[in-house]
Amino acid sequence: AQSVTQLDSQVPVFEEAPVELRCNYSSSVSVYLFWYVQYPNQGLQLLLKYLSGSTLVKGINGFEAEFNKSQTSFHLRKPSVHISDTAEYFCAVSYRKTSYDKVIFGPGTSLSVIP
Amino acid sequence: DTAVSQTPKYLVTQMGNDKSIKCEQNLGHDTMYWYKQDSKKFLKIMFSYNNKELIINETVPNRFSPKSPDKAHLNLHINSLELGDSAVYFCASSQVSRTDTQYFGPGTRLTVL
């Protein structure tokens, strides 16, 4: 069975400091990896995704993530956070389940940027 | 232009009532989804439709019935509402492929009293 773990449910960080949000997954089939962000009272929107090729993926708003197959991880990083980055961040995996595609979301990490 | 829209944004109702949430996407996508987000922000897929055909039906009570009149619309009807149904419900859409981004609506906050 496929699963997604985000070990940190809450991450407080000071403005302009770097941040890393961790994501690990477990899967018996090949997966594609995504990070979504949910700003307060809004729907989710894509930050970045890894499909193939370079394991370092750059996304919107200065975020990047690195796919590590041996560690089954896809951690999200930003070198300097802003107040506006305060949001909920979701890691997700998609895979082929028998005859259809499925996406599983992790439990989310709440990033709070402190002025 | 709003890509994925949902109505209503807020829904407050009494236990036992029946309610519907509407969703429309103008992205030309083939697949639409309903998700439930609980108070701890956990996001769980409920249903997925591809070209009006039900693809995914997770372990959702049969009080919940999705209806897709065409591939741009996926409505969610809920019968006999219970306190535990209180949550934020998100509609989303994507192309068929599992490599594609899902585009989410703004959510409908359902409160059952």
The reply to whether B107 touches chain A by the CB within 8 Å rule is yes
Q: What is the mean pLDDT of residues B26-35?
A: 94
Does A45 sit within 8 Å of B90, measured CB to CB?
A: no
| Ranges A39-43, A79-83, B2-6, B52-56: which has the least confidence | B52-56
Strand ranges, E, within B1-113: 4-7, 10-13, 19-25, 31-37, 43-50, 53-57, 64-70, 73-78, 87-94, 103-104, 108-112
Pick the closest to residue A110 from A9, A23, A35, A40 (CA basis): A9
Residues in contact with B59: Cβ distance below 8 Å, sequence separation at least 6, in sequence order: none
Does A108 sit within 8 Å of B41, measured CB to CB?
A: yes
The reply to whether B62 touches chain A by the CB within 8 Å rule is no
The reply to whether A2 touches chain B by the CB within 8 Å rule is no
The reply to whether B39 touches chain A by the CB within 8 Å rule is no
Q: How would residue A30 be classed by pLDDT, with cut points 50, 70 and 90? A: confident
Retrieve residue B69's tokens. Answer: 């009149």
Q: What is the pLDDT of residue A85?
A: 97
User: CB-CB: which of A43, A51, A90 is closest to B99?
Assistant: A51
Q: How would residue B1 be classed by pLDDT, with cut points 50, 70 and 90? A: low
The reply to whether A103 touches chain B by the CB within 8 Å rule is yes
Within 8 A of A32 by CB-CB distance, chain B residues are 98-99
Q: What is the pLDDT of residue B56?
A: 82
Report whether pLDDT(A5) > 70.
yes
Q: What is the mean pLDDT of residues B75-96?
A: 95
Kindly report the nearest CA distance between residue B73 and chain A, in angstroms. 18
Cα dihedral A18→A33→A28→B52 (10° resolution): 150
CA-nearest residue to A91 within chain B is B43
| Ranges A23-32, B10-19, B35-44, B52-61: which has the least confidence | B52-61
Q: What is the mean pLDDT of residues A62-80?
A: 96
Q: What is the pLDDT of residue A49?
A: 95
Q: What is the pLDDT of residue A80?
A: 97
Q: What is the mean pLDDT of residues A41-61?
A: 94
Gap between the Cα atoms of B101 and B113, Å rounded: 35
What is the percentage of chain B residues whose pLDDT exceeds 70?
99
A92 SS3 class: strand
Report whether pLDDT(A59) > 90.
yes
Gap between the Cα atoms of B47 and B57, Å rounded: 5
Gap between the Cα atoms of A20 and A28, Å rounded: 26
Pick the closest to residue B71 from B56, B53, B58 (CA basis): B53
The reply to whether A8 touches chain B by the CB within 8 Å rule is no
Q: What is the mean pLDDT of residues B89-94?
A: 96
Quick check: B88 and B6 in contact, CB under 8 A?
A: no
Kindly report the nearest CA distance between residue A81 and chain B, in angstroms. 22
Report whether pLDDT(A2) > 90.
no
Within 8 A of A102 by CB-CB distance, chain B residues are 45, 48, 56, 98
Kindly report the nearest CA distance between residue A69 and chain B, in angstroms. 17
Q: What is the pLDDT of residue B58?
A: 81
Q: How would residue A86 be classed by pLDDT, with cut points 50, 70 and 90? A: very high
Q: How would residue B53 be classed by pLDDT, with cut points 50, 70 and 90? A: confident
CA-nearest residue to B106 within chain A is A43
What is the percentage of chain B residues whose pLDDT exceeds 90?
74
